[in-house]
């Protein structure tokens, strides 16, 4: 079972009496994790503008990163490996491989 279902099943009987109370308790328990995932997704898809210096792009990435609560190194590595920069690098690498003349 997942964490959310485990949490729900362990709630004391009659401790929640409405859908709104359930939603509020759920957000109180898991809201930070959900926000962190959304923030990490933003960081994953960040792109350097065509007129933006590398220094400014790096600063913008760092500014986003320091505002993500509870971010883990592994989640950042995963986001990097599955993000738009890595996809662009893979496409470029494949293009360069295809364009090589093999004799």
Number of domains in the chain: 1
Give the pLDDT mean for 39-56. Answer: 76
Residues 6+ apart with CB under 8 A from 52: 60
At 2-12, the pLDDT tens digits run 887 887 888 88
Q: Please report which confidence band the pLDDT of residue 35 belongs to, taking 50, 70 and 90 as the band edges.
A: low
In the chain, % helix, strand, coil (3-state, to 5) comes to: 70, 0, 30
Tell me which residue range forms the domain holding 36: 3-99
Q: What's CA 103's distance to the chain center, in Å?
A: 44
Whether the predicted pLDDT of 24 surpasses 70? yes
Q: Is the pLDDT of residue 36 over 70?
A: no
pLDDT band at 34 (very low <50, low <70, confident <90, very high): low
């Amino acid at each position: 079972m997942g964490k959310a279902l485990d949490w729900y099943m362990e709630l004391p009987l009659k401790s929640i009496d409405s859908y709104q109370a359930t939603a509020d308790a759920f957000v109180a328990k898991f809201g930070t994790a959900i926000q962190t995932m959304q923030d990490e997704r933003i960081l994953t898809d960040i792109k350097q503008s065509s007129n933006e210096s590398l220094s400014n792009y790096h600063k913008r990435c760092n500014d986003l990163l320091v505002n993500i609560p509870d971010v883990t190194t592994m989640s950042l590595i995963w986001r990097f490996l599955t993000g738009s920069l890595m996809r662009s690098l893979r496409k470029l690498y494949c293009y360069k491989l295809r364009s090589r003349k093999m004799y």
